[in-house]
Amino acid sequence: MIVVDPAKRIDLTEVIEACKRYKAKRESEPKIDATLIMDDIAEKLTLLDYQNKFCKTRGRKPIHRLYFAISQPSEPSAEKFYYFLDLCYWLMENIAVFTC
């Protein structure tokens, strides 16, 4: 919330202390490993037979197990985004098929 009166605004030292507390809290929490999550996603896509039902029907190449977890400088990030978007649309279009 924006406070117009400068006398009622919080001090910079309070902001720094709040940031330090937040950082300490985040450091104590377990870290999420993007490679493990992407490996799990790749496994679930295999169970959905995405190579035949998604890649072949949409003219896409199958992704490797760490495609979204590790950035490759040779591959533009926009291409990853559009692949992800297409994959999400495919999953949403077929959710009724997957749940039955």
Nearby residues of 83 by Cβ (< 8 Å), 6 or more positions away: 60, 63, 67
**Does 85 reside within a domain?**
yes
Instruction: Report pTM.
Output: 0.61
**Does 6 reside within a domain?**
no
Report the SS3 class of residue 38: helix
**Does 53 reside within a domain?**
yes
pLDDT in tens, 8-65: 888 889 999 999 999 998 888 777 888 889 999 999 999 999 999 999 999 999 988 8
For 21, which DSSP code?
H
**Does 20 reside within a domain?**
no
**Does 18 reside within a domain?**
no
**Does 14 reside within a domain?**
no
**Does 80 reside within a domain?**
yes
In whole angstroms, how large is the CA radius of gyration of the chain?
22
**Does 7 reside within a domain?**
no
Number of domain units in the chain: 1
Helix (H) or strand (E) holding 82: helix 77-93
Closest CA to 64 of 82, 87, 41, 47: 41
Q: Which domain holds residue 58?
A: 34-99
